[in-house]
């Protein structure tokens, strides 16, 4: 594995907690911008900034080899997954409170764990499938199709969960073969290029310094958050880091209260708790239970 700096598990956990705090800041800023600028502009500013930041913070020797990847195809796929995730998050946050949105999206670790098991050709136990079902029930409690919170776009976070699961699995695989800065550079290039193709039809010049400031903040917290997540996955197993991803629900609840004055109701809190419980137990089971290859009787 090629690491930027030698960090152990405690530092990896610290990177994970910092990353989810930055992601909550990213979601908060995105929600504030959702009615002010088109999504293509948000994507373009964010990933162009990431490319420029990467180029500005690496040494000249690193700059000459940034495009050298052992798996360039996976790098491009990872970048496209993140662009799709950004678009899905943008439209989801238009209609959902940030805490409820975050709770649904934190189903991702369950699907990451199951995807990793599937990729290794191992069998998922009935209890693990039950935990996935429990997490889905928690998500339905949060979005409640019969509730006034429901809108067709509230289903988008469920699609975002699947996209994020693929994205995080690719992040882990690439952390084993490429430098952190190479992955960061590819992600920025793919996102900036994809958004550039749409800019001629979507550009709207921001009319206030407030909007410009939010765009800059979004660029910073997005780039730093993903850099921290790459560093964490490069230095600790997924099962070690996954439980700490659920701190994002708490951070989002505080942000939603402070910035938007929204406090989730009792059913929403129950759904969030069910998601966090099922996700944590699912990760613990996968980490501690020996999985047998498919076709091997238990």
Angstrom CA distances, 293 to 125, 126, 281, 296, stand at 11, 15, 21, 6
Angstrom CA distances, 13 to 16, 18, 240, 254, 283, stand at 5, 9, 8, 21, 15
Over residues 240-256, the pLDDT tens digits come to 777 788 888 888 888 88
- Give 212's contacts (C-beta < 8 A, 6+ positions apart): 206
Does residue 11 have a pLDDT over 90? no
User: In the Cβ-directed half-sphere of 135, how many Cα atoms lie within 13 Å?
Assistant: 28
Question: What pLDDT does residue 28 have?
Answer: 93
Provide the token pair at 103.
């709770």
Question: What pLDDT does residue 216 have?
Answer: 92
Q: How far apart are CA 258 and CA 255, in angstroms?
A: 5
Does the CA dihedral 65-68-74-79 come out positive or negative? positive
Angstrom CA distances, 273 to 22, 99, 151, 266, 282, stand at 22, 12, 22, 11, 14
Mean confidence (pLDDT) of the chain: 79
Is 160 in contact with 89 (CB distance < 8 Å)? Answer: yes
4 against 54, higher pLDDT: 54
Average pLDDT over residues 123-137: 74
Does residue 117 have a pLDDT over 90? no
Q: How far apart are CA 240 and CA 9, in angstroms?
A: 8
Model confidence band, residue 162 (pLDDT cutoffs 50, 70, 90): confident
Percentage of the chain exceeding pLDDT 90: 8
User: In the Cβ-directed half-sphere of 5, how many Cα atoms lie within 13 Å?
Assistant: 9
Over residues 97-115, the pLDDT tens digits come to 888 888 888 777 677 766 7
Over residues 165-205, the pLDDT tens digits come to 888 788 878 878 887 788 888 888 898 898 898 888 888 88
* Residue 22, Cβ density class (10 Å: 0-12 exposed, 13-18 middle, ≥19 buried): buried
Question: What pLDDT does residue 95 have?
Answer: 80
Q: How far apart are CA 120 and CA 109, in angstroms?
A: 16
Average pLDDT over residues 28-51: 87
Question: What pLDDT does residue 217 have?
Answer: 93
Over residues 62-86, the pLDDT tens digits come to 777 777 788 888 889 998 998 898 8
Burial 175-210 (b: 16+ CB within 10 A, else e): beebbbbbbbbbbbbbbbbbbeeeeeeeeeebeeee
Q: Is the pTM of this model over 0.85?
A: no
Question: What pLDDT does residue 296 have?
Answer: 31
Question: What pLDDT does residue 6 have?
Answer: 45
> How is residue 152 annotated by DSSP?
G
Q: How far apart are CA 126 and CA 140, in angstroms?
A: 21
Question: What pLDDT does residue 276 have?
Answer: 79
Angstrom CA distances, 218 to 28, 140, 214, stand at 9, 29, 6
Question: What pLDDT does residue 214 have?
Answer: 92
């Amino acid at each position: 594995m090629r690491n930027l700096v030698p960090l152990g598990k405690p530092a990896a956990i610290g990177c994970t907690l910092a990353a989810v705090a930055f992601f909550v800041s990213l979601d908060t800023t995105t929600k504030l911008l959702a009615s002010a600028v088109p999504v293509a502009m948000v994507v373009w500013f964010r990933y162009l900034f990431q490319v420029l930041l990467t180029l500005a913070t690496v040494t000249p020797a690193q700059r000459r080899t940034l495009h050298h990847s052992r798996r360039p195809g996976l790098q491009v796929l990872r970048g496209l997954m993140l662009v799709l995730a950004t678009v899905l998050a943008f439209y989801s946050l238009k209609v959902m409170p940030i805490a409820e949105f975050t709770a649904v999206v934190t189903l991702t670790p369950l699907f990451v764990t199951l995807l990793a098991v599937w990729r290794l050709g191992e069998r998922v136990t009935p209890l693990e499938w039950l935990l996935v079902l429990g997490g889905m029930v928690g998500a339905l409690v949060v979005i409640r199709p019969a509730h006034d919170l429901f809108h067709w776009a509230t289903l988008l976070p469920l699609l975002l969960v699947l996209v994020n699961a693929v994205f995080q699995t690719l992040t882990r695989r690439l952390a084993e073969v490429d430098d952190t800065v190479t992955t960061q550079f590819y992600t920025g290039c793919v996102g900036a290029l994809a958004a550039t193709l749409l800019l001629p039809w979507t550009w709207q010049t921001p009319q206030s310094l407030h909007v410009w400031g939010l765009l800059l903040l979004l660029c910073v917290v997005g780039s730093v958050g993903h850099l921290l997540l790459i560093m964490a996955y490069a230095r600790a197993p997924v099962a070690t880091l996954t439980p700490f991803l659920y701190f994002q629900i708490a951070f989002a609840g505080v942000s939603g209260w402070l910035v938007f004055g929204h406090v989730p109701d009792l059913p929403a809190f129950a759904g969030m708790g069910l998601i966090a419980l099922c996700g944590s137990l699912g990760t613990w089971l996968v980490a501690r239970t020996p999985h047998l290859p498919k076709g091997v009787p238990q």
